[in-house]
Structure 1
Amino acid sequence: MAHVLPAGVTVFERGWLSSNNILIQGEGGTALIDSGYCTHAEQTLALVDSALQSRPLDLLLNTHLHSDHCGGNAALQARYPAMETHIPPGHADFVRVWDAHALSYTPTGQQCPRFHLNATLQPGTDMRLGDLHWQVHAAPGHDPHSVILFEPQSRTLVSADALWEKGFGVVFPELDGDDAFDEVAATLAVIERLNPATVIPGHGAPFTDAPQAIAYARQRLNGFVQNPAKHLQYAAKVLLKFKLLEARHVPLPALIAWARNTSYFNHTFQSHFAGATLEEATQQLVHDLVRSGAATLQDGVVYNLG
C-alpha cells in the first residue's frame, strides 16, 4: 500500500550518508526535521530553498545529534538567521560548549560544523509544526537522547533511526559498554503502542507496514542480544561504510590510519577481533564490504559502491 503523508509534509529521501529531511509547511509556519550530513549541506539548502519558494524556514528540529542528522544545521542557520533550532535535551550542554567528543563526532571519526540551539525538545510534550500537532516521545537505544515525533490524526510517525523498514541504527551506547538493547526493545514497544499508519524513517522510503517492520527489528535485536559480537561487527562495518560514503574512495593505508584514530572503531576492533592486528581487522572488514558489493578494492584504493 502506498504511503499517504499529511498535507504540508514533504520527505526528502537522502540515502545513508545523510538522513532523510522532513519539511512541514502550513499557516502555522515552516519546520524542517533533521538536516543531513555536512558534506551534503549545499544539497540540503537547495532542496529546502526550492520547496519553500522564498518563504523563510522558521524552525529546525533534530531527532538526535548524530552527524548524519544534524550536519547541515550550521548551513541552515547561516541561510535562515531568524530560524530557531530545537534539539533533544540530553546533549544540550555539550552543544553549548561544543564538546565534539561527547557529541560523538570525534569517536566516530565524523564531521559536524558547530551550530547553536534555541530550545530543547521535551519528551511527553506536544508541539505545532505547520498546521499539525505532533507528540514528542523519548526513543532511547540507538542514541540515549533520541526522540521520535508522532502526529495522531494521520498516525504519521517520524521514527528517525529507532525503526527502519528493515532494522534500526547501530546501538551506540553498547559500543561504550553500556547496556542499551533493552532500551531498543522498549522504544519498539512505544512505536507499537502508537500504531502508526505511515512511518517516515531516518533512512529509506516512508512505509506503511509498521507491524512487519517491528517484527523484523525485534528479530534482529534478538540476534544481537544472543550474540553481541554480531552487533559489534555490524557497527564496525557501518562506521567503515560511512567513511567510504563520505570520502567515496580512500587508499587502504589511509583507511587503516583513520581506523586507528577513531576510538569507536578501535574499541570495536579490540572487542571483536581479538588476536588480529587493527590492520588485519580493517582489511577483513574491507573484504567483507567488497564481497557484499558495498565496496571495491583496486590498486590499493577502496572505492564506495552503492
Structure 2
Amino acid sequence: MDMQLPDGIQVLERGWLSSNHIVFHDPELPTVVDTGYGSERAQTLALIQAALQGQPLQRIINTHLHSDHAGGNAVLKAHYPACQIIIPPGLQDAVTVWDEARLSYTATGQHCERFLHDAVLTVPGTLRLGAHDWQVLPAAGHDHDMVMLWCEALGILISADALWEKGFGIIFSELVGEPGFGRQQATLALIAQLSPKLVIPGHGAPFTEVDAALQTANSRIQWLMDDPKRNADNAIKALLAFKLMAHQRLSLADITQLIQQSQIFNTVMKAHYPDDPARLGEVFAQQLVKVGAALRDGDDLVLKS
C-alpha cells in the first residue's frame, strides 16, 4: 500500500473468520466500523482496548449484519455500556426480535451473540467519522442491505465485502433464486465512478490498486454469470471453510447436518446438486482437502495450519 492512512484512522486487519475493524480516533466520539466474529470476541475486545488506549468506545457502525462483521457487537457493548450500535436499514426489525433465520445465522450455521441496536443508518446519507464527513452508500450484491462508507475529501472508501483486492463476497441472493449478479455489477460501477485513491476492504489489507481490483471483480462476476453453479460451488466451500476455521475440526456428519439445516439447500441448489446432503458433504470435503484448506483424519476434516 503506497498511500498512508491519515491520522485518526486505524485499520485492525483480521483474517477471514473476523472482518477488519476500522477505528476512528476521535476525542469525543471514538468509533469502530465492524466487529468481527463471535468466537474471536475476546481478541476483538483486546484489540479495540489496545487501539483506544484507555479511551471508552462510543459508537459501533456495522456495514452489514453478517456474523463475521457484527459478532463482536455484544461483547463491546457489555464492556462499553454507553456505546451506541448503529446498523444499516433493512433488518432492524429482525434485530429487534432476534430472528436468526432472517439475519442469515441459521442458514449459514454461524453464531452471533444477540445485541440491540440504538440507531439505523440513513442510506444515502452522511456520517461524521473523526475529522471528516463520510457518505453512506448502498452496496447491494453480496448483501442487499450492505453499505459502503465514502470520504471524498480523503479519497478513501470503506468497501465492506463489495470489493476486496482479489474479488468480493459471495452473492447469496442468487442461491435463493433472487437477482444478485446485476446488483453486484452496479455496486462495482459505483465504486469505479467514485474513483477512490484507497480502499479499506472488509477482509484483507487496504489497497491503492483500485482499477486492477475492479477489473478482477468485474471479470469474476461475469465468470459467475456465465455459469451460476460456480457461485453455488463457491458458497458451499466458503461456508464449510468458515465453519472449519471456527471449530478447527468437522466430521462428515457435521458437514451433512450443516447442508441439511441450511436454507441454501433449496430448490435452486437442488437443481445444481441432485445428490443427497451426505453425498454432497463428501464431495465438498474432498474439494477442501484438494485445495489445501483441510486435512482428512478418518471421517473428520481438520483445519490445515
What TM-score do you get using the length of structure 1 for normalisation? 0.96
Q: CA RMSD in A?
A: 1.3
**Counterpart of 1:109?**
109
**Counterpart of 1:163?**
163
**Counterpart of 2:56?**
56
Structure-1 separation of matches of 2:277 and 2:26: 52
Structure 1: which amino acid aligns with 2:149? L
Structure-1 separation of matches of 2:108 and 2:26: 37
Structure-2 separation of matches of 1:268 and 1:244: 25
Structure-1 separation of matches of 2:154 and 2:303: 38
Taking only the aligned residue pairs, the percentage that are identical comes to 43
Structure-2 separation of matches of 1:148 and 1:121: 11
Contact 1:239 1:265 survives alignment (8 Å) = no
Structure-2 separation of matches of 1:266 and 1:2: 45
**SS of the counterpart of 2:30?**
strand
Structure 2: which amino acid aligns with 1:283? E
**SS of the counterpart of 1:48?**
helix
Structure 1: which amino acid aligns with 2:95? V
**Counterpart of 2:282?**
283
Structure 2: which amino acid aligns with 1:97? V
Structure 2: which amino acid aligns with 1:278? P
Q: After superposition, where does 1:1-306 map in structure 2 within 5 Å?
A: 1-265=1-265, 269-274=269-274, 276-305=275-304
Contact 2:124 2:135 survives alignment (8 Å) = yes
**SS of the counterpart of 2:223?**
helix
Greater mean deviation of Cα atoms: 82-91 or 19-28:
19-28
C-alpha deviations, 1:19-64, integer Å up to 9, x for none? 1111011234200000000000000000000111110111100000
Structure-2 separation of matches of 1:166 and 1:77: 33
Q: Structure 1 residues 98 and 123 mapped into 2: Cα distance closer, same or farther (>3 Å)?
A: same
Contact 2:134 2:151 survives alignment (8 Å) = yes
**SS of the counterpart of 1:68?**
helix
Structure 1: which amino acid aligns with 2:107? P
Shift in Å at residue 250 of structure 1?
Answer: 1.4
Shift in Å at residue 269 of structure 1?
Answer: 4.8
Structure-1 separation of matches of 2:280 and 2:295: 17
Structure-2 separation of matches of 1:110 and 1:137: 27
Structure-2 separation of matches of 1:208 and 1:28: 30
Structure-2 separation of matches of 1:242 and 1:133: 34
Structure-2 separation of matches of 1:102 and 1:291: 33
Structure-2 separation of matches of 1:80 and 1:93: 24
Structure-1 separation of matches of 2:303 and 2:109: 17
Shift in Å at residue 287 of structure 1?
Answer: 0.8
Shift in Å at residue 255 of structure 1?
Answer: 2.2
Contact 1:60 1:86 survives alignment (8 Å) = yes
Greater mean deviation of Cα atoms: 256-265 or 230-239:
256-265
Q: Structure 1 residues 28 and 153 mapped into 2: Cα distance closer, same or farther (>3 Å)?
A: farther
Could you list the runs of 5+ residues in structure 2 that have no partner in the other structure?
Answer: none
Structure-2 separation of matches of 1:19 and 1:242: 12
Contact 1:259 1:266 survives alignment (8 Å) = no
**SS of the counterpart of 2:281?**
helix
Shift in Å at residue 253 of structure 1?
Answer: 2.1
C-alpha deviations, 1:193-249, integer Å up to 9, x for none? 111111111111111011110110000000111110111111111111111011111
Structure-2 separation of matches of 1:268 and 1:46: 42
Structure 2: which amino acid aligns with 1:302? L
Structure 1: which amino acid aligns with 2:229? A
Shift in Å at residue 166 of structure 1?
Answer: 0.6
Contact 1:232 1:268 survives alignment (8 Å) = no
Structure-1 separation of matches of 2:31 and 2:259: 37
Structure 1: which amino acid aligns with 2:192? E
Structure-2 separation of matches of 1:228 and 1:133: 39
Structure-2 separation of matches of 1:267 and 1:38: 31
Contact 1:108 1:265 survives alignment (8 Å) = no
Structure-2 separation of matches of 1:298 and 1:228: 32
Contact 1:167 1:213 survives alignment (8 Å) = yes
Aligned length: 305
Structure-2 separation of matches of 1:157 and 1:103: 25
